[in-house]
Chain A
Amino acid sequence: MNTTSSSVNDCTLVDFPVSGTDTAFLVAPLRNGIEAPFPIKRMYYLFDIPDDKVVRGGHAHKALQQIIIALNGSFSLKLSDGLSEKIVILDSPFTGVHLVPGIWRELYDFTPGATCMVLASEVYDEKDYIRRYDEFLSYKQQPNGPIGPDGILQKFHFLRSNVVKGKTIDLHPYGMEYLDEIIRLRNQDAVKYFLAQDFDITRQQQQEWIRGYEKRTDEFGFIICNKKGEVVGITFCYNYDGRSMEIGRATFDTQRLMGMPYALETYSIIADLVFNYLQLSVLKVVIKSDNHRLLKFYQRMNWTHTGKCSIRGNDYETLQVLPGQSAHASFEHFLDGRKNKFAL
């Protein structure tokens, strides 16, 4: 794992299998390389913690993985990846938190007599510690990691929480407040066909998907609204690999789209964001092979066909665009030709 890009959502609760009697419990042995999520090379424990005002931790590790367990009593564990925070209350000797590298942690609210036990993947190495939070934030923005250059996760976060204004449309952050509109768009027949979705998505399924999206930090999605505030489509950027992203999961309201440049401007803005704001090198898309209309649309925007692939038994075409080949020019050209119509 690249520790500069690790997220608090990568830190998970671990329930340990237990045997015993009514009053005595034994955790089933965690064997290195079998039940343990990493080879355990060190164990330490905190005890005689004086009062509930104490804060322990206050550091991050570059490579070390840990499992933190409240062996006696309870305490709170606050995790941060520089963007998001997560607070976990640990109060059982049979549940721990697996901390991946690159996560800032603080332990506090210790109950009297609390014992905190930590299993670690490496022996002690001071060089592995980051002990100042500003250094931690700098570390998470290193140019040689996926978070860099210039803190790309922060940029994703910005895009996930701000409106991007265009000329005929605005891109609003994708989220639960648009649930009804999202379901309406997703269940259009054409959308279902080209997304290979052979069922009507339910409210519960969509809510679960949105909750999953809200936990991910390495992608962003938009609700596309026209200037009247009507929802005309949805799109996402994902599969970030350090130099490229993929645009997709796009759905448009075919009625509201008719004769309007909403889709063209959407792809134009996305290209602008990917190349000029995020400073990436490639924008990719995967389109169902029989979606001739969309393939033609991308070709008009100067995208290059790069190959074919198969997803869940369906054939798809892969295309990409590089900086300078961006759709932006084609959108401006399109607008120039229709200035009167749109009265810009």
Chain B
Amino acid sequence: MLPTTYRKFRLPKILDERGNLSVFENNGYFPFEIQWVSWFFSEADSAYDTRLASQDQVVIVLSGSLKINVRQTGLPENIARFPESSNVCRPSDDLLRHGPHRSEPSQSSVLDNEPPARYVIKDGLLEEEILLNDVCNCIHLPASTASRISWSAADTSAFITGSALTDAGQLYINFLPNRKTAHEHYELLG
């Protein structure tokens, strides 16, 4: 699988003098129909591994910042870049009118003009590090993508949603005790 199958994108930010709002929903612009949701909260640095073999997932930063390491097989050259813009995240005008105190919302977009992500080849596998440091940043991890999500800032929280129902024991979201220890035992899942 090529790493270009994942997408980093930004949710619309609806500006409001009473506090800002970001939103996603099942209406065609989100990468898939929500089948389950989860969220996590950290008071200190930690990490978790995730891989959902049969389904996609999206991770959204709600506070603080996340560093996501995506590991997958692929060609070692010219592949560490974000995908071209697409229609994956274009909310409807109706959605963007959310609320009576709205101002012009920032359009959601695929982040295709950022510098390339840092990546290394490790054990014949591509490992790419992606930083999500804004409350509207998201990443779409396609099925079979192995990833480690870690954070170092206190009070970091994030939302996770998946594209398919799975048995409760099959969700493959595993907390690791701490980042450094976990790194030594990190293996590509599956």
Interface of chain A residues 3 through 28 with chain B (CB within 8 A): 19-21, 23-28
Nearest CB on B from A70, distance (A): 11
Question: B2: CB under 8 A from chain A?
Answer: no
Report yes or no: B173 in contact with A48, Cβ–Cβ below 8 A: no
Question: A282: CB under 8 A from chain B?
Answer: no
A21-B23 in contact given A30-B37, A32-B35, A72-B157 (Cβ < 8 Å): no
Interface of chain A residues 42 through 84 with chain B (CB within 8 A): 42-50, 54-56, 69, 71-72
Question: B130: CB under 8 A from chain A?
Answer: no
Interface of chain B residues 21 through 48 with chain A (CB within 8 A): 21-27, 33-44, 46, 48
Nearest CB on B from A103, distance (A): 18
Report yes or no: B62 in contact with A47, Cβ–Cβ below 8 A: yes
A338 to B165, CA, bound (A): 73
Q: Mark A254-286, 1 if CB is under 8 A from B, else 0.
A: 000000000000000000000000000000000
Residue in A26, A32, A71, A110 whose CB lies within 8 Å of B62: A71
Across the A-B interface, how many residue pairs have beta carbons closer than 8 Å? 149
Report yes or no: B19 in contact with A24, Cβ–Cβ below 8 A: no
A32 to B35, CA, bound (A): 5
Interface residues on A, range: 35 or more
A26-B40 in contact given A21-B46, A42-B23 (Cβ < 8 Å): yes
Interface of chain A residues 29 through 47 with chain B (CB within 8 A): 29-34, 36, 40-47
Which residues of chain A are near B19, meaning CB under 8 Å? Answer: 46-50, 54, 56, 110
A20-B40 in contact given A32-B165, A41-B25 (Cβ < 8 Å): yes
The stretch of A119-127, A144-152, A311-319 that contacts the partner chain: A119-127
The stretch of B67-75, B81-89, B95-103, B116-124 that contacts the partner chain: B95-103
**A-contacting residues of B (Cβ < 8 Å)?**
17-27, 33-44, 46, 48, 62-63, 94-95, 97-98, 100, 135, 155, 157, 159-162, 165-166, 168, 171, 173, 175, 177-178
**B-contacting residues of A (Cβ < 8 Å)?**
19-21, 23-34, 36, 40-50, 54-56, 69, 71-72, 93, 110, 113, 115, 117, 119-120, 123-126, 131
